[in-house]
Amino acid sequence: MLPEKIREALREKRKMTADEYFQLPETNIHMELIAGELIVYDGQEGNMPAPKDLHQKISSRLFAFFLKYLDTDQLRHAPCDIKLDSGNIVQPDILWVNPQNDQCVLMDDGYLHGAPDFVVEILSPSNTRRDKIDKFYLYEQYGVHEYWIVNPEEQYIEVYIRKENTLHYQGGYKMGQTFVSHILNGATVDLSTLLG
Amino acid sequence: MLPEKIREVLREKRKLTVEEYLQLPETNSHTELIDGVLYVYDGQEGNMARPTVLHQRISMSITLFVARFLHNPGLYNAPIDLILGDNVVQPDILWISPDNTTCHEVNGRLYGAPNFVVEILSPSTHRKDKGAKFDLYDEHGVYEYWIVDPQEQFMEIYTRHENVLHRQGGYEVGKTFTSRILNNTPVDVSALLG
């Protein structure tokens, strides 16, 4: 059950700062603050839907796959707050921070501040626009190096990699195809094993 | 009604060359040939869905909008065959500039990359428009590519820099972006998708 303070903020559609967001009562529900707007994914009262089983299954598979290539201690799955600036806190489905990275650091408040190196967002029908526009823009602006947008229903992955100041579209890949991931040290990724 | 010859190819899941595709009987259904596979968008017998009213309405508003800036002749609506290497695609909207040197008309068909392509997504075409067709437009030299999501009401814009299509940005209803192909005109997404 969502704490009353959070329900109140949603009812009043009140814009908030990152500081106010962090003072909200603790909850395990997936939430984000985008341009000062609180977004709660619990499927209640006109909120965004909670993740479906397909979403979570793909999330588990991806996470298990990444463990083969990436340092476990630096890998996180949602919900994990990432503060990007005073109006934006995101909870990517999966993220990884390069230990050498100094743009994403764990601060005294116990949260990660700054963009991770690698972000994966798994689409739900209702969040396509947010992942492809609002969060895309934030990840691009704050320096994410590789961004995967995974569509579990349509079974394909869009991969974006950083080139200078922008996230460049590496390509869209469907079942039966493979691609090479820069962030996974050039590993070949087989779509069928991840999304099949 | 889809000609029997086309239904036969679909039933047999037979791979086609561009020459074989162009010899198929005439149809007004939207068809494409990608990596040798024939796709028919008529909503029949397990084929891809037909365009919806929403799809066609947005196609019309974008056409009317871009027609104010783009030289005509040169602007086309689907279905029109565009041959790119071993593939035949039918973009929702395309434009060939008067000084374009990559796209030629031969026997009533277009060969080579137009300057500008718009694809309007249907739930069933997402993967193709961001996958196989994106790669074709990228490789063959399309200069600006708009991918429009009518359901979610946003569009992604890709423009060519140094021989590759770069993502210029994603824009939702209420936002405005500048289009290079439209002489840097500001485009109000609400006017197109609202």
Given a cut of 80, whether residue A196 has pLDDT beyond it is yes
Gap between the Cα atoms of A163 and A150, Å rounded:
21
Confidence of residue B44 (pLDDT cuts 50, 70, 90): confident
A–B CB contacts, 8 A cutoff, strictly below: 51
Question: Could B131 and A174 be called an inter-chain contact, meaning their C-beta atoms sit closer than 8 Å?
Answer: yes
Q: Which of residues 115-174 of A touch B (CB under 8 A)?
A: 128-129, 132-133, 136-137, 151, 154-156, 158, 160, 166-169, 171-174
Residue B29 in this model has a pLDDT that exceeds 90? no
Put simply, the answer to whether A174 touches B166 (Cβ < 8 Å) is no
**Mutate which: A48, A129, A179, A191, vs B, most B CBs within 10 A:** A129
Q: What is the DSSP letter of A72?
A: G
B167 vs A160: CB contact, 8 Å cut-off?
A: yes
Give the tokens for residue B84.
Answer: 């790119």
Average pLDDT, chain B: 92
Nearest-by-CA chain B residue for A163: B166
> Residues B97-134: pLDDT tens digits?
999 999 999 988 999 999 999 999 987 777 888 889 99
Decide: A118 and A145 in contact? Cβ < 8 Å: yes
> For residue A50, what is the DSSP state?
P
Q: Which of B131, B149, B169 sits opposite A156 (nearest CB)?
A: B131
| C-beta separation of A133 from A141 below 8 A | no
Encoded amino acid at A186, one letter:
G
All residues of chain B having their beta carbon less than 8 Å from the beta carbon of residue A167 are 167
pLDDT in tens, A52-86: 899 999 999 999 999 999 998 999 999 899 999 99
